[in-house]
Amino acid sequence: MIRFNFKRLIIVTLSTLIFIKPLFSAETIDPIKVNWSFKELTGKFDRASLQRGFQVYKEVCASCHSMQYLSYRNLGEAGGPEFTQEEVKAIAASVEIEDGPDSQGEMFTRPGKPSDKFKSPYPNVQASTVANGGAYPPDMSVLVKARPGGADYMYSVLMGYEEPPAGMKLDDGVYYNKYMIGQKIKMASPLSDGIVEYSDGTEATMDQMAKDVTTFLAWAAEPELEERHRVGFKVIVYLILLTILVYLSMKKIWSRIDSEI
Amino acid sequence: MSDQEYTPKSKAGKWFNDRLPLLTLGSHLTDYPTPKNLNYWWTFGGILTFCLLTQIITGIVLAMHYVAHADLAFASVEHIMRNVNYGWLIRYIHSNGASMFFLAVYIHIFRSLFYGSYKSPREVIWIIGLLIYLLMMATAFMGYVLPWGQMSFWGATVITSLFSAIPLIGESITTWLWGAYSVDNPTLNRFFSLHYLFPFLILGLVVLHIWALHVPGNNNPIGIDLKKPSKDTVPFHPYITIKDAFALLLFMIIFSGFVFFSPNVLGHSDNYIPANPLVTPAHIVPEWYLLPFYAILRSVPDKLGGVILMFGSIFILFVLPWLDTSKVRSAVFRPMYRYFYWIFVVDVLLLGYMGAMPAEGIYLALARIGTIYYFLHFIVVLPVVGLLEKTDPVPMSISAPVLSSGGDPALAKKDYDKI
């Protein structure tokens, strides 16, 4: 009879696979690991960081990147930056939104309302592409979910601008970024120390701004995150309690039978 | 079936039951004699029923908010995630639910392979199960296309293009499937329609699957025929219902872990990039549950050959009951088969891993070895092992492990405890 330890076989196979993987995926550098407040199972966003991050988005990113799935009202909702209703109204009113047609059939502009979607910097993808040297600045609504590495990757790219290694030729309008896939990016380093003056007095270092805006983008991609964590915790506690009750009932019922369970 | 004649107690019940014997059916389902030694691998039938119903219910709600149009689909999914009350919860249950469904179905299938549940007299149950599995794969594939992200679009392009490998009529078939000259809005529309239809076909097949099961009754870990009802069986309710409920709750805890704490870990980040026919992703990968077949497809240098092997890898399962020559069902009493069973499990895991890796270098070489072994397992190993193997003695009943011929009872008991 052949005796055979299958568990060992599975463990050996899987660990071999995990070992050979890095040998074949050396194109990208692992992003910097940041200890985000929203990462853990009960994680929440840092409210002040979200508000600062919105400021960085508005003053820096928004000149090229759209965020078309967000509405201004989202900025005041629970689990987000939680601006007051007055602040949300003021933020919305600071942009001119094209509306219409009116009863005369004419389009007109009016100040934004909280129910409006974030105004895009360009009327369409083509206009955006041509204005940015042929590279379309991606919409930022779900950008953090759309990249492997998520928030860590986003932060790393913002911090990853360097002089290209000796011998590397870069075309005009192409920059070296060691965390970007392929190490080339068509966006110039968007952040530099003091480019934003934070209204809450925090010192606007590059690292601080990169963290703040990444936090803001992480929220934009998953505005339900805090509620999801909260509901999930309750659901799992409830399920565990119910499981214990059902287990005890099962033991009781099966005790009538001469059989193991 | 050995059900005793059932008579409803109330007069109204009797009146109704004479006209439509639903109460008799209910009585059959609760009294259904089930082997008392079923282990937890047998709870996945109930778990799968739960998965199907969860997908149908969440899917119906999603369809109320989703827009099947190439220009609007991606935005409508974001609308569900952001503006629909608990839309994020419903969508994450649905998308993770597909993965949980496949996790459960793979356990269910491999349980069947281990305990020989596909063997006579249960071949029809097995074949209906495979039809369900095929429909599940089609449904999941089309569902993955609906959010109209990059992986949706390119996954759909790769899979539908497979049909173009068919000689002469392939190109026409592909165009017919697309309803256009590439994956486009008509493709999305028909996929949505079929994605809504197929789960109900699955539901119908599930009824047949259970019906076919209730004719011979359940297989069990020692794979013997039982006299029913006897002291080896228990009524389905409450014994099996409570046990299934317990296992289902454990399953739901894991399910909730994914939904609430890492809802996107099983998906591909590229699918949050809207579909763009002009930009091909660096690596096009299907969802994890299709990876072994994807590895088989790519391991053949010839496109048509790859397609034939990929479909062959599933269709060979349909003749499995006739490829396995062993008269003993359960691997508990089949020392050689048990060895090859685990090699086969590792082979499928290996293929799955290779499906996720780029098809080059060592990955491609390993995928080819894995593919060859996959077919060898069915065509050579199973028929030969069944003939050569000296099986352990099989007990006559669950309660009293009396042996059919000679042998050492302690040995059989020892092996059984190990599983």
pLDDT at A16: 61
The answer on pLDDT for A169 being more than 70 is yes
Residue A81 DSSP code = T
Chain B residue nearest residue A248, CA to CA:
B246
Per-residue confidence at A4, pLDDT binned at 50, 70, 90?
Answer: low
What is the crossing angle of helices B185-214 and B150-161, to 10°?
A: 70
Q: Which residue, among A201, A227, A229, has the nearest Cα to A51 in the 3D structure? A: A201
The answer on pLDDT for A201 being more than 80 is yes
Q: From chain B, pick out residues whose CB is under 8 angstroms from the CB of A229.
A: 260-261
Q: Which residue, among B268, B287, B322, has the nearest Cα to B124 in the 3D structure? A: B322
Chain A, chain B: beta-carbon pairs less than 8 Å apart: 115
Give the pLDDT confidence of A206-227 residue by residue, as tens digits. Answer: 999 999 999 999 999 999 999 9
Chain A residue nearest residue B270, CA to CA:
A146
Q: What percent of chain A has pLDDT over 90?
A: 79
Interchain CB distance below 8 Å, A259 and B257: no
pLDDT at B260: 98
Q: From chain A, pick out residues whose CB is under 8 angstroms from the CB of B75.
A: 69
pLDDT at A214: 98
- Under 8 Å between Cβ of B99 and B107: no
The answer on pLDDT for B155 being more than 90 is yes
The answer on pLDDT for B398 being more than 70 is yes
pLDDT at B366: 96
The beta-carbon neighbor of A253 closest among B238, B350, B358 is B238
The alpha carbon of residue B167 is apart from the nearest alpha carbon of chain A, in Å, by 36
Interchain CB distance below 8 Å, A253 and B242: yes
The answer on pLDDT for B239 being more than 80 is yes
Give the pLDDT confidence of A62-120 residue by residue, as tens digits. Answer: 999 999 999 999 999 999 999 999 999 999 999 999 999 999 999 999 999 999 999 99
Helix (H) or strand (E) holding A184: strand A184-185
Give the pLDDT confidence of B261-303 residue by residue, as tens digits. Answer: 999 999 999 999 999 999 999 889 999 999 999 999 999 999 9
Q: From chain A, pick out residues whose CB is under 8 angstroms from the CB of B399.
A: 258
Question: Which residues in A68-146 belong to E strands, given as ranges?
Answer: 96-99, 108-111
Contacts of B114 (CB under 8 A, 6+ apart): B41, B330, B331, B341
Alpha helices in B73-184 (DSSP H): 73-82, 87-115, 123-145, 150-161, 170-178
pLDDT at B396: 85
Mean pLDDT of chain B: 93
pLDDT at A152: 97
Q: From chain A, pick out residues whose CB is under 8 angstroms from the CB of B264.
A: 145
pLDDT at B409: 45
The answer on pLDDT for A203 being more than 90 is yes
Chain B residue nearest residue A147, CA to CA:
B269
Chain A residue nearest residue B345, CA to CA:
A10
pLDDT at B356: 92
Q: What percent of chain A has pLDDT over 70?
A: 89
Question: Nearest 5 degrees, angle CA A210-CA A216-CA A218?
Answer: 100
Q: How far apart are CA A180 and CA A182, in angstroms?
A: 6
Interchain CB distance below 8 Å, B273 and A146: yes
Chain A residue nearest residue B276, CA to CA:
A125
pLDDT at A10: 65
Q: From chain B, pick out residues whose CB is under 8 angstroms from the CB of A142.
A: 78, 272
pLDDT at B406: 42
Interchain CB distance below 8 Å, B338 and A4: yes
Distance of CA B187 to the CA centre of its chain: 26
The alpha carbon of residue B413 is apart from the nearest alpha carbon of chain A, in Å, by 14
Give the pLDDT confidence of A222-238 residue by residue, as tens digits. Answer: 999 999 999 999 999 99
Q: How far apart are CA B329 and CA B119, in angstroms?
A: 7
Interchain CB distance below 8 Å, B256 and A235: yes
Tokens linked to B222: 């020692």
Handedness of CA B8, B10, B16, B18 (dihedral sign): positive
The answer on pLDDT for B2 being more than 80 is no
CA dihedral B2, B3, B5, B7 (to 10 degrees): 180
The beta-carbon neighbor of A250 closest among B79, B242, B363 is B242
Per-residue confidence at A260, pLDDT binned at 50, 70, 90?
Answer: confident
Chain B residue nearest residue A21, CA to CA:
B357
Q: From chain A, pick out residues whose CB is under 8 angstroms from the CB of B110.
A: none
Interchain CB distance below 8 Å, A259 and B36: yes
The alpha carbon of residue A137 is apart from the nearest alpha carbon of chain B, in Å, by 12
The beta-carbon neighbor of B75 closest among A9, A69, A232 is A69
The answer on pLDDT for B16 being more than 70 is yes
Q: Choose, out of A77, A217, A228, the residue to mutate when testing the contact with B (most B CBs < 10 Å).
A: A228
Q: From chain B, pick out residues whose CB is under 8 angstroms from the CB of A258.
A: 231, 399
The beta-carbon neighbor of B239 closest among A228, A239, A257 is A257
The type of residue at B150 is Q
The answer on pLDDT for B3 being more than 90 is no
Give the pLDDT confidence of B181-233 residue by residue, as tens digits. Answer: 999 999 999 999 999 999 999 999 999 999 999 999 999 999 998 877 888 99
pLDDT at B400: 63
pLDDT at B404: 44
pLDDT at B49: 98
Q: How far apart are CA B20 and CA B257, in angstroms?
A: 43
Tokens linked to B383: 């028929």
Interchain CB distance below 8 Å, A246 and B256: no
- Region of residue A105 (phi > 0: left; psi between -120 and 50: alpha; otherwise: beta): left
Chain B residue nearest residue A15, CA to CA:
B350
Is residue A117 classed as helix, strand or coil in its secondary structure?
A: strand
The answer on pLDDT for B408 being more than 60 is no
The beta-carbon neighbor of B350 closest among A1, A13, A257 is A13
The beta-carbon neighbor of B336 closest among A2, A232, A261 is A2
Helix (H) or strand (E) holding B233: strand B233-235
pLDDT at B69: 98
The alpha carbon of residue A235 is apart from the nearest alpha carbon of chain B, in Å, by 8
φ, ψ of residue A48 to 5 degrees: the values are -65, -40
Is residue A98 classed as helix, strand or coil in its secondary structure?
A: strand
The alpha carbon of residue B123 is apart from the nearest alpha carbon of chain A, in Å, by 28
Is residue A108 classed as helix, strand or coil in its secondary structure?
A: strand
The answer on pLDDT for B32 being more than 70 is yes
Tokens linked to B132: 């369900």
Interchain CB distance below 8 Å, A145 and B361: no
Q: How far apart are CA A208 and CA A186, in angstroms?
A: 23
The type of residue at B31 is D
Interchain CB distance below 8 Å, A232 and B78: no
A175 versus A169: which is more confidently predicted? A175
Q: From chain A, pick out residues whose CB is under 8 angstroms from the CB of B270.
A: 146
Helix (H) or strand (E) holding B222: none
The beta-carbon neighbor of B264 closest among A74, A145, A236 is A145
Q: How far apart are CA A113 and CA A96, in angstroms?
A: 10
Q: Choose, out of B76, B242, B417, the residue to mutate when testing the contact with A (most A CBs < 10 Å).
A: B242
Give the pLDDT confidence of A127-148 residue by residue, as tens digits. Answer: 999 999 889 999 999 999 999 9
Chain B residue nearest residue A231, CA to CA:
B260
- CA count, 13 A, side-chain hemisphere, B333: 26
Q: How far apart are CA B186 and CA B179, in angstroms?
A: 6
The answer on pLDDT for B93 being more than 90 is yes
Q: Which residue, among B134, B260, B71, has the nearest Cα to A236 in the 3D structure? A: B260
Mean pLDDT computed over A150-154: 96
